[in-house]
Chains A and B, each alone.
Chain A
Amino acid sequence: MSKLTIGCFSSLVGSMSLDFAVKLSKAAVEKGHSVDMWVSGNATMLSKKGQRAFKDYSALAKPLEELFATGKFQATACEACAEARGYHKDDTMAGFKRHSMDWYLASCFSADKVLHIGGD
């Protein structure tokens, strides 16, 4: 089976791009593929623990937990981007890693396909 690396810059709240990225990850894992997700910029909001689900906002903590449980999905947040937003190591959701940007480039190196969602 193949590996997909998804990078995303978009915010959890205020954009639906992360919603897309998580749903695509789920579909890929269900087909037996592995997925690396990288979040930087405003997308590091996804790595914050303690997200409360409201119906007016994207709530992705639960699907992320389910993805982590498959063992075929890993997610990493840009450490500097998170720190700049006040998301410290202790604030990070279980399962989420934090690294510098070179981690993403290395994940792309071994990926069969890369989907980079910039913008927003």
Chain B
Amino acid sequence: MKLGVFMSDYRSGSDVIERLQAEKLGIILVGNGVYHAAAKENGGASSVLSKQATFYVLVEDLESRGFTAANIDSRVKVVNYGDVVDLIFNDYEKIIWI
């Protein structure tokens, strides 16, 4: 399946991500999920970013938390709400929120 995952938290949900299997996986970081794109805990990037997936981060939630597109992991693409709508309808068959 082509699965789009909204990841809305930083401390929970990684266990779900780890075991999810999809032929195409997109992870859209929203809410506190944006810390996976922006935080460098103990100097390292989030382990979530090591998953075979395409990563996106919602710019509104990123900026609300004091980050900008300039200081996020290079694997993550910045998107806005309009882009998210297109991802939902054009890129993924099923969508989940964790």
Contact = CB atoms under 8 A, between A and B. Distances in A.
Contact of B84 (A16, A27, A112): A27
Interface in B56-92: 60-61, 80-82, 84-86, 88-89, 92
Nearest to B31: A16
A27 B85 contact: yes
B96 interface: yes
A24 B96 contact: no
B8 interface: yes
A17 B94 CA distance: 19
B95 A113 contact: yes
B29 interface: no
A13 interface: no
B97 to A, nearest CB: 5
A115 B88 contact: yes
Contacts of B94: 113-114
Interface of B: 6, 8, 30-31, 60-61, 80-82, 84-86, 88-89, 92, 94-98
Given A20-B61, A116-B97, 10 more contacts: A17-B8, A20-B30, A24-B81, A27-B80, A27-B84, A28-B85, A30-B82, A112-B89, A115-B88, A117-B97
Interface of A: 2, 4, 16-17, 20, 23-24, 26-28, 30-31, 33, 112-119
